[in-house]
Structure 1
Amino acid sequence: MVFKEGTFHGEIPEHFDGPHPAVLETAVADALAAAGTVDPSDVAVTCENGVIYLTGRVGSAEEIARAIDIASSVAGVRAVESTLVAG
């Protein structure tokens, strides 16, 4: 899932501190798709306060580990929480 960057009349809201969560969500989703070692078609990526949450289904336990590693390697990601299931 990809969200637009949060803006207020074309400007980033004044109260917003740091990159918008949608920027990290997009970067992680793009990294998963580009890696080619994980099928991200059933993976949802969400972000809150720099923590990436991966939910959904992948093909194997190895893909879960790779997805976590890929998400962790994206600049700006502080931590990764996964509830991915294999199957």
Structure 2
Amino acid sequence: MVFKEGTFKGEPPEHFDGPHPAWLETAVADALSVAGDVDASDITVTCEGTRIVLSGSVNSPQEAERATAIAASVKEVSEVDNRLSWL
């Protein structure tokens, strides 16, 4: 039997230093969802390394600031890019 190196459609798999970004995205999304003072139903959380990007919409500028603070409080988050808009 011959074993070939793993690839995805001919490309080598991505390598992540540290935890997989999905773990950090999930941790931030969970923190936002349990916060009582932020409506996270229209917030999208994405991760670029340990940098979190928040996009979507919230109800007020204060809620956007609170969402940024919550995301920044999650362990392993180095920076938060707030791209939230409000109604």
TM-score by length of 2: 0.82
| Post-superposition offset of 1:27 | 0.3
Count of paired positions: 76
| Cα distance between partner residues in 2 of 1:28 and 1:14 | 22
Report deviation, 1:14.
8.9
Deviations 1:21-67 (A, max 9, x none): 10010000000011111001000000011000000000100000000
Unaligned runs of 5+ in 2: 1-5, 7-12
Aligned mates of 2:39, 2:17 — CA distance in 1: 32
SS in 2 for 1:36: coil
- The one-letter amino acid of 1:36's match is G
Q: CA deviation at 1:16?
A: 2.6
Q: 1:48-87, aligned counterparts within 5 Å?
A: 48-87=48-87
Report 1:4-43 matches (<5 A). 15-43=15-43
What does residue 9 of structure 2 align with? none
Instruction: Work out which of the two has the higher radius of gyration on C-alpha atoms and give 1 or 2.
Output: 2
Q: Quote the Cα distance in structure 1 between the aligned partners of 2:45 and 2:64.
A: 13
TM-score, normalization by structure 1 = 0.82
For structure 1, the 5+ residue unaligned runs are 1-7
CA RMSD between the two structures: 1.6
Distance 1:40 1:14 in 2: 30
